[in-house]
Amino acid sequence: MQVVSYTEARNGLKRVLDDVVDNADFTVITRRDSENAVVMSQDYFNSLMETVHLLKSPANVVHLNQSIEQYRAGKTINAPDLANHRSCAPEKAKKYENIDQTKARINNQH
């Protein structure tokens, strides 16, 4: 997270925007006589909104916590093994192609 004044943001808007997009982060813009504002990339915003949506449901929270615990306990399967598993239909296997990326994201959050 970066904090910049309104003047700094105005004078360096391209840099501020490039930073939030390139670093998947956000920047707080301070203002003298008003509330501060936040600038973030569309991807970061979408990710936050998805998280908010998922966490609205208590059942989802329980399921997500169980999944994280299973991951930490090593009870996982990688995408190629899942795709090769005979009980997994090819169309379902495609749904899980990004499983390794998701696991990496979870690791980075904890």
The per-residue pLDDT for range 19-69, each reduced to its tens digit, is 999 998 999 999 999 999 999 999 999 999 998 998 899 998 899 899 899
Question: Is residue 52 one of the residues assigned to a domain?
Answer: no
Q: Which domain holds residue 17?
A: 2-41
92 within a domain of the structure (yes/no): yes
For residues 93 and 47, give the distance between their C-alpha atoms in angstroms, rounded to a whole number.
23
Cα–Cα dist 53/39, whole Å? 21
Residue 51: inside a domain, yes or no? no
Q: Residue 105 and residue 61: Cα distance in Å, rounded? A: 17
DSSP type of residue 22: H
Q: Count of domains in the chain?
A: 2
CATH number for the domain spanning 21: value is 3.40.1620.10
- Let me know if residue 53 belongs to a domain: no
Please report whether residue 27 resides in a domain: yes
What integer pLDDT is reported at residue 32 of this predicted model? 94
The closest alpha carbon to 45, from 31, 27, 29, 62, belongs to: 27
What is this structure's pTM? 0.57
Quick check: is 97 in a domain? yes
Does residue 17 lie in a domain region?
yes
Residue 18 pLDDT > 80 = yes
Question: Is residue 61 assigned to a domain?
Answer: no
Strand-by-strand arrangement of the 37-40 sheet: 2-5, 26-30, 37-40
